[in-house]
Amino acid sequence: MTDWPYLLVASSIYALGFIGLFGISLLPIRATLALMRNAFLWRSSFIGKAALFLVGAAAIAAIAFGIPQIAGVFRCLNEMHCGANRASGWFFLAVFGACYLAFELVSIIVLAVARRLGGVAT
């Protein structure tokens, strides 16, 4: 029988890995949609401009930090040696999943605050 801490860690790595797997294609799409749907904030105030800039910077940072992780997944799929063990590919995907979740959190919170402070009704 396996103990609970191991199950929690393993399941969180797999969950973040699946999020990272979907986040590879969702991150550019979600970043583009978030910026296009909230383009009206650019004209509203300085807070709106700062929010859009922050969301764009978060997207660029998530993509820049995720590129080595995606390259690691690609190496795991194409080469014989992936990493220290067979879970290395899942670790790469889990790190990218964390990057994607961080982008989503920043995007949702910053844009909601900018809409509220900018006096823009959604």
**Residue 81: burial class (beta carbons within 10 Å; 0-12, 13-18, 19+):** exposed
Dihedral Cα 65, 68, 74, 75, nearest 10 deg: -160
Q: pLDDT per residue over 19-66, tens digit each?
A: 999 999 999 999 999 999 988 888 888 888 999 999 999 999 999 999
Four-residue CA torsion sign, 68, 70, 72, 75: negative
- Could you give the number of structural domains in the chain? 1
Q: pLDDT per residue over 3-22, tens digit each?
A: 888 889 889 999 999 999 99
What's the length of the chain? 122
CB 14 within 8 A of CB 90: yes
pTM exceeding the 0.95 threshold for the entire prediction: no
Domain ranges, residue 83: 4-118
